[in-house]
Each structure stands twice: as structure tokens, then as C-alpha cells.
Structure 1
Amino acid sequence: MIYFLRNVDDKITQTNFRKALTIGEISGNVLMDLSVMADEVIGPLLCNPENQKGWPKIVQNDMKRHVNELRNLMHQLKGEMSSQIMLPMPEGVENIYHAEARLKESDSEDVDLYLKTNIEGAIIKWAQQIYDLLQEDSYIAFKRTKFPLPISDIEFYTHRLRNLEGIYSQLRDPRVKRMAHYLESTRSVYLACFKSMLTNVVAALLREVCNLVIQQCTNSVDPMSIFQGDADEQLIKLRKAMGVLNHFIDTYEMNRDKVHTFFPPGVMPVRWSFDFDRVFMRFNTFMKRLKMIDNIVEATVEILKLEKVEFSGLRGKILSTECIKVLEEYTLIYQNLGNITYDPADPEDTRFLSDYDKHMAVLEDVDRRLASLFSQGLDECHDLEHFFKFFQIIGDLYHRPIIKNELKPKVAKLLDFMHSNLDAVKEIFDEEMAKLNPKGVERPMVDPYLPPYDMNRLNRAISWYNAIREGSHETEVALIEKEISAIDHLLGRGVEELTWNDDFTEWMAEVYAAINTLQERVLTAQNNVRRGLSNIAAWGDKPLHNRKDNPEKLELLAVNERHPRLVARRNKILQSHAEFLHILKDNYKLFFNIKEDEESDDEEEELEEVDESTMDEDERLARAQKLQAIMEQWEAKRIAREERERERAEIAQAKFERREARRLKREAKEAEKRERQARRDEG
């Protein structure tokens, strides 16, 4: 396409047409060229102050308004050509930075009313454009073609998503942010409209995700037929879907709380500030509907268990018949609920609400009838066994509020039955213990499979061992690793070598003593550290310099008392330091199991080396006596150490002999067993 531009007013002839005309070529995209012409030719030409000399002010403003409308029109047309919504910028937006600077310098006095009015007008247009977009529905595909395909629905939402992302990108333009600040600084009434518009755009993106989740959940659960199938299977399917929906909400809240971690370092994080109810309103309604359906199906599952209920006692058959009657009546009502022709989970359909209220009234009546029957059935339970069987039969029906309130006062009978049983057991126990006479012929009744020793000590030792393993820091475990390995070896030996028929009293005592000693030492060391940290926290969590307490706020900090506070804080630090040194010393002894007498061996007193030639007779005598005392102390410690080593050797030898005896006994049993097996094989 070619264009001709006349340069002079003279008549155009064959000889002067080259100077009188400017000839050029226009590309195939005319709209793009017109947009460029409006921005770079028409606008600068008509709005140039040099070209507007002598024009009245009203004409100048009117010309600017028309030129800006032309630019916005071209801008919108370009968007429509690419199937995107383009937000028109207000006239004078290029001056927004200077206008905002003047507003700040004048303390909000110098307001450009013309620019403010243009911004407010633009916001009205934007709000209308966004509203029209959000009101569009996928049914528009039926208006474009008579027989749309499923791809039309996908294309609609793809196009809508692209538009929302484009609008969101335009609203994040730095000029738009400055416009929002300008409206806020000038207290414009259109600021709320602007914030609501931005929130609607962000919320629309999330609402579409919620709608997708709702659609997928509906496809999975099929609420229209949920009252028709087996109640147990429908409840499992419903609970699984509700779990997915709860996980979706949990994921949203988790990412909302840590959204600040998604921003790179040095960038001010922007938190999600849109209204939760506005975004998830339909989602929450859908969740409430599923919960209502869950209430009905869960109650139905429990009531259907009445088919297996049988009461005992004289009136047991009558009560069982009445329960079956209640079950049959409720089953008919529940089957009628399966004949609904609407989607009970549809948030926009309110027909289920009235049906839900009616069915809950039916369930309340069923609960009252069952409560009366169960109360009569419980009166027929005259011993502990029947009492427990009764509650095992009714199952979770007991937890329904009406039934629970009716039966709860009667549960006190359980204590009477238990007391009677315990009294009977006590009488039997006393009677059998009276037979425990070494000279008597009768012996107490003992189950042959009952272990011959009380296992409480072993259970207590194992709980201590688990507490050491689970409650200790990895560095603490490393310090006592050898002792833990020894205990593991000791426990393993008991598991592999001992049986209920063996005498494992000594082994149990050894296990108990080893774990008890280790547990006491570790617990004491841990308490020492906690005490030290608590004392540090008493002053470490408080600031050194505080604000001065005075009503007139003459000083920010109480600096006059800083030196006494510094001295007091220093003394507390030194006290904590000394305390931790003492704790480290004590914990060293505890973790490495160092006794006081063993430590004293390393801290023996030594005489100071002096020149005896400079000492008088009394000093030399005193030094000789002290040296003699030290030698006697060394000798006593040596004898005590040898005695301890001898005792340890005797204990170790005794343990070895016992282990050898058990090993020989076990080998003898195995040999005897093999011999018997060999004789059986020989016939």
C-alpha cells in the first residue's frame, strides 16, 4: 500500500510532483502504522505548545483530550486484534512522576486536579473492562457456533487466563503504581475502586483454580449418585475427596505464610493481601456441602449396623425386633433421598438445604428412638461381660449426642461391676497366698506359661534405655557410646541365650544396674545444662539499656545509669561463666563415669620444691612430717585401688563362670535333644 503526502499548495504537475509530494509505502498492518502515527506524529504535532500559540486554554485541553482518546482507541484496537484487553492510559500520565514529586514537596498542597481527574476517569474505564471480562461465561461458545466442541471450553478459559495475566501485567506498570500513590496521597474516593479492581484480578486467577478443583472433585465423587450406592464405599470415597480439598487449603496457607521466601535478596517482599473469603467463597460453600453429605452418609453407615444387633435378657428379643423396625423405616427414607435429580454439592443450587434439614430431623428422631431402646437394653446387662459386649455391639452409635446423653448416666454401673470383680479377684488372691507356706503341702495356683520373675524391673529399665536413646543429643550419645554398646551386647545376650526356664535373676539385675546408673548420670548432666542455660536466659533475654521511664519522654534511653547496669551485667556474666565451668567439670565426671576417689588419684598433693639449706630445724621437721603424711596417703590409695581391682576381677570371674555354666547347660540340653531325636529316627 502506497501513501501520498502533499507538501505545497501549488498545482501539482508532471514537473514538480517530486517536490510537491512525499511518497511512501505502508505495511500490511495498517492498525500498527496508525497507532505509531497517532503516538509519534499526530500527538506531538497537535499538542506541541509552539503550534498552539494563540489558542484558548479550553481549546488546548480539548485538543489534548481528543489526541489522548485517539491514542487509547488505537491501543485498544491493537489489543482486540490480538484478542487481548488493553487498558487505556489517562491523559498526562507521562507527567505522573513530576506531579507526585511536587505533591510531596508541597506537603500534599500542590495537586494537579486535571491529572487527578484523568486518572479517576481511566480507573472507571478499567473497572468496566475488567468487570465485563469477569462476567463472561464459557456458554459464549454456543453463541459463536451451533455445535461447539469441548475444545471450545478449553480455548475460552485459556483466552481468559491470558487476558487476566495481561491485565495483571499492565497493572504492575510503574506508572500505574505511581497513579495509585497519587490517588492515595490526594485521598481520592476512587482509591478503593482501584484496590478492589486489582484484588479482583488476582482473585479471579485463584478462583479459576478453585473451580478446577471443585470440578475434578465432583467428577470423582459424583454427588448426584452418592446416596444410591453402598454407604460404606461412598463414605470412603467422600472422605478421600475431602482430604484432597483440605490438603489444597493447607498448601495455599503454607505458601501464603512463606511467600516472603520467594523474593530474591534485596527485594522488598509483597505479601498476599487479598480477602480469603472473596477468593474461596465458592470453594468454602462446596466444602460445607460435602460436610453435610458426610454427616448423612456417616450416620447411615452406623445405623445400618443395627442389622447385627441382638440384646440379651428377658426383653432382649423385643428390643432387637424394635431396632430392626427402626432400621427398616430409616432405610426406606434414605433410599428416597437417593432419588434426587439435582447435584447436592452444587454451591449455586440451594434445593439440597431443605432436604438436608428434613433428613437431619429424621436422624434426630431415629437417635431418640434408639436411645430409648439402648437404655432399656443396658438395663438388662447384669455383669461386666454383658456390659462390654453391649457397647461393642452398638459401636460408634454411642458417640451420637442424643444417644450418649441418654446412656452416660448408666455407665456408672461399669464401676460397680469392676469393683465387684476386683473384690472377687482379691479374695482368690488372698486365699492362694495363704497357701504359700514352705512347710505346707498345697502351693498357689500359677499359670505354667507365667514367667517365674516379676518383669516390671526389666520394663522400667527398657523405658530408661529408650529415654536415653531418644532424649539425648547426638553429641551426648557419642560420649556414652561404649556404655550403650555394652548394654546392647548385654540385652542381646539375654535374648539369644536365656529362656523362661532359665534363672536369669543375675542377668536382670545386671541389666537394671547398668541402665539405671547410666540413666541417672545422663539425666543429671542434662539437668545441669538446662539449669545453666536458664540462668543465662534470666539476664541474656533482657536489653542492657532500657528506655527511661518518664511521662515527658525527654530521653530515649536511661543513659545516666549505664555504668552501674554495665557493672551488674558484667558480674552476672562472670557468675554464669563460673557456673558453666563447674557444670562442665561435673558433666565430664558424669559422662565418663569418674568417681570422686578415682579423680583424687590425679589430684594428689605435692610438696613445693624449696632449698632445705635455707630452712630452720622446725621447718625441716614440719616438712618431713608432711612428706610422711603424703606417703601414707599414697600407700592407702594404692591399697584401696588394688582392693577395687581385686573385687572387679572377682566379679568378672563370677560373671564368666555363670556364663560358662549357662553355656555348658545349654550345650548339654542341645546334646540331649539331639540324642532323643536320633533315637526317634532309629525307631
Structure 2
Amino acid sequence: MTLPQMEKPSRVMGLLKTALDFEKLERLEFSGLRGNALSQQVQQMHEEFEEMYKVFMECPYDCLDLQSMVMSPQEFENDVREFNKRVEDLDRRLATVLIQAFDDTPDVEHAFKLFDIAGPLLERPLVAQDVSHKYLALIRMFSRDLDAVRLLYSQRIQEEAEHGFSPVHKNMPTMAGGIRWAQELRQRIQGPFSNFTLITHPYERRLYEDWCQTVSEKSQYSLSLPLLHRDPNTKQLSVNFSPQLISVLKEMSYLQPTEVKLIPETAASMFSSREFYRQLVANLELMANWYNKVMKTLLEVEFPLVEEELQNIDLRLRAAEETLSWKTEGAWDYAMQLTNSIRDLEQRIQKAKDNVEEIQNIMKAWVSPIFKRKDGKKECPLSLDDQQDRKEKYYGLIRESGVKIHALVQENLVLFAADPASSVWKTYVNYIDSMLLDGFFLAIECSLKYLLENTEYKAGITPIFEAQLSLVPPELVFHPSLDSGVKGGLYDIVESLLGSIFAVPSLVPRLSPHSDSPHYQGELEDMADLASLRSMLMERMQKVMTLCCSYRNTFSQYSYLYVEDRKEILGQFLLYGHVLTPEEIEAHAEDGIPESPPLLHHFKVQIDSYETLYAEVVSLEPTKVFDGWMQVDVRPFKAALLNTIKKWSLMFKQHLVDYVTN
């Protein structure tokens, strides 16, 4: 089979390298017991090689002339095959000679000299394979030398400890001689040790040569790849800088300067431009991350606002995904321009998102009850005195928030470079609009639930509403009134509180100019959930007001004390000896009631009845709580009633003082 045309020059190069290697055999000599015999064997191998090499010198074709080689390709191939076969035999014999010479070396120093004179012959593959185990023997020899040096050092230290001195070179003083001895001992170690750095192990050489053979091809292929790669499923971008290129640059950064000079030109050129690639990859990574972030975080309502801009960017990205490679001139300028465009878009979108997040944070401050218990204490009732101040403070917060929200939406209009009359912008504004509706819903719900939670009949709750029961003859009245339909009554007050709560959305003008309503109140009042909460609260108010009024009616038994005329009653008592009942008056309507002036004990009975009644009223509870959250303060009524009873008792006592004598 004829060799391919491109393989012939490499075969010729191999022949020349082999010739140069074996040319060194002529000057190779060995010492030691078998030095002469080994030298003769080497000379014999050199002569044999010269005879083998003459074949190519006397051949009818010219090895360096490709045209001549075409005329006799088979003959050249046969000669090369036979030559390599005989060279392999010489390599094996040479390895045997070198091993024998190594075994004859008396110490590490001579072993290193042997490796030094053998030189490139040790790098021949078959020779290196057979001789490689002697490197371990060399290390053992050096280890034995180290042990010997350590023993010498220990002996000298022991002598100095025992005798106070140790031998030095002739005619040298003690201190200088000791230093010279230490220097010579150190040199005995450092000399061989430094030689180890000059040895290249076959494994190391093979590993490096194998890497050099593939690095150029891998680098060329990887550098020809496009700058960017787009995932077909997720559409996400990634920098298409091959891991092989990263590996090459990393490997080369660890190589010694002498080794870097031997690598292929393509890889060397790439390594010299490593800073350029590092910066280019870093910029492309930033660009890809920003682009991917935009595509991942862009909301459905935001996408139409930047769709055209994204299409232009994708069009420019196509070159980096298809044609622009790491070897293309101008890749840096292209990457920087595109990176700046994507960075600008990402920053504007992120700022718009930050503005929306700020709107949401603003609305979080709304979720707080407008009306609370006095001083925020759990045991205090709802503060009705400062409700106007609390309402105005809360309203001020909402108005201020509304102004800021409108400003943020206008800023987003600029950031998206949108047309305010376009449908996509109106859709976006509706999105923010719905967000505000949710915010107002939560704000109103918070205030309603606060009132509902504090008007729920459950253990541990304290009254949140309070009314005072007062005596305003001839009636008992609540302050505020607990009767239905009374203006300024408790029901009316709670209705007013709810009206103030539901009026909150009217304080912010509608974001969407095309909406029918100028604000948000109407939509929130129509929401079934809020209406249900409102209705539930008012039902509770109606129920508890009924309970309170029923409780008030239980005091009707005392109504005669503040309804009847005291002078008239005293007159009846003085005429008939007792207070006439309605039944008694009706029974004697025609013939009249016979007079029976009271005696002293009659006065005593009447006065004692008032004292008993007084004690009964004193024992009445000062407050009454209904359903755990509605408190009636009975103390004003109780005080007035006790005062009235005292007046009745005093009236009879005063009559005795004024008109009765012993």
C-alpha cells in the first residue's frame, strides 16, 4: 500500500531525527569495571547504524524530492519499514547497555553524569520505556546519600557534646573549620538534588507531547465556534467559549516558560491573547446574563412595550449565534456595542419593576385600621373623640401616596418609551390599576376586620363600644343613643365610620384615563366580600342595640320615683295615711276615698321603704356588658336615681321635723 502524499515528509523527518540521535553513539564512552566492554558495544551499534543509513544515501531516489518519490513509492516504503525494524533492535540493545552502565555507577553523582552524556538518547521511546525504572533506583541512591549525610551530622554533634570539639581540616581554626565542614556537607546534598530538576521523566515527556499533538486542532475548532449559543427550548443565551479552550489556557498558565515555547503556534497565539479572551468572555457573560434576566422576568403585560426593541436586539444577536467566531476581527467592538444596548434595556426594565415594587410597598402602608381603640390599648374602647383627627391623618397618607404612584407610573411611561395613547400602554396601566384596587381592598378589609374581630362574641374580648345610661326625667336615655334611626346615635356613628373607610379609594384619582369612574370607590363598594363584612357589622350593631334597650326597660320599676309629683304624693299620704294606688283611686271614683291621716308609725314605714329602695339601687352593677364588646355605663343613671330616692325620703323626714311635736 502506497503511503499518502502528506505522510512522506514526516517519514523523512523521522529518519533525520534518528540519524542525529545515533550520531551521538560515536562519542559515547563509559567508565567503570565494564566501561570498556560497554563502549565497544556502543561503537559496534554506531557502525551498524551507519551501514543501515547508507541505504538511503545510495538509493536511486531522492528522499527530499517529492517528484522523485512519486516514481518509486513502494521502494521507499519498504526501505523505511526495514530501517525502522532494525532501529528498534538497536534501541533495545542501547537501553540494555545504558542499564548496565547505570548499575555500575558507584554513586548519585556518576549516575547523573551517565544520564547527562546519554542526553537525547534517553528520550527515544523504546529506550525511555526500558530505562524508566532506573529513575526510581536513582531516588533510592539519593536517599541513601541523605542517610549517610544525616549519620555524619549526628556523629559530629555527638562528638562535640562529648569532647567539646570535633575534627576540622588541617591548619583551620575551630569555627571556620566547622563552617567549612557544614558547607561541604550541604553541597553533598544540594549538588545531586539540583540535578533532579534537569531530568525529564518519560511519563512527563509523553504526557506533554500527547497534549501538544491535540491542542492545536482542538484550539482551532473551538475558536471557530460562534460567540453565543441559544438553547432551542428555553431560548436562553450562553457564552460559547469551549471548555477545551478554558482547559488549554489553564494548562498553559501552569507550564514553564521553556515549555511554552515548544507548543504549537495556534495555541501560543491564543495564550498570548488570553487577557483579550478573558475580557471578551466576561463581557459576553454579562450580556447573556442581562438578556436572560430580561427574558425570564419580563411579564406578559410588559413584553409588548419592549417587543420591538427585543426584536432588534435578537436580530443583532443572530450574528453572534451563527457567523461571528472567536477569531473574527471586530468581535470586541461588536460585543461592547451589543452589551451596552442590552444593559440599557435591562436597567430600564429593572427600574420599571422597582417602581412597581415601590407602588406595592406604598400600598402596604395602607393596610392599617383607620379607627382603633383609644391609645391602642386592648382594654380601652374605640376612641370616638379623635376619630376626625385619625381620619384626616390617614387620608393625608393616601393622598400623598396617590401623588407618588401617579409619578411612578409616568416615570415607567418614559422608561418603556411608550405611547400613552397606545393600546399596550393602556393595558399596562390597567394592570397597575388592578393592583391599586387590590391595595384598596386590603386597606378597607383591614379596617372592617378590625371592627369585626372586636365585635365578635368570644372569650377574652373587652368592650370596644360604650354608651352611658342617664336619667332625663321622665325618660332613661343612652348617650350616644341606642335607638334606631336617631341622628347622632351609635348606629349612625358606626355608619359614619364605615362611610369614612369606604371613602378612602376616592382620594386617589384613577390611573386609567379611559375609565368611567374618576376614582376607585364605586368598584370597591360593589365588591361582595366587602359588602358582606359591612352588613355583618351593622347586623351586630342592631342586635346589641336591641339588647341594650331591653336592659334599659328593666329599670321601669323605678319610673314612679322620677315621674310622679312628690308634693302630690305627700298630700295623698297626709290625707289617707298611705300613697293611693291606681286601683284604689278607680274603686272609689264615685263616693271618694275616706280620709285617714297617718300616724307616726306610718311615717316610719314610708321612710324605711325608701331606705330599703336606696340600698337596692346601690347594689346595682355600675356597668353592663353585652356580647362581650358593648358596654353600658349605668353609673349616671344610678347616681341620679339614688339622688331622687334621697329626695323622697327627705321630704317625709322634713315634714315630721316641721309639723310634728311631742
- With normalisation by structure 2, the TM-score equals 0.26
Per chain length, whose mean CA-contact separation is higher, i.e. which structure has more relative contact order (CA < 8 Å, sep 6+)? 2
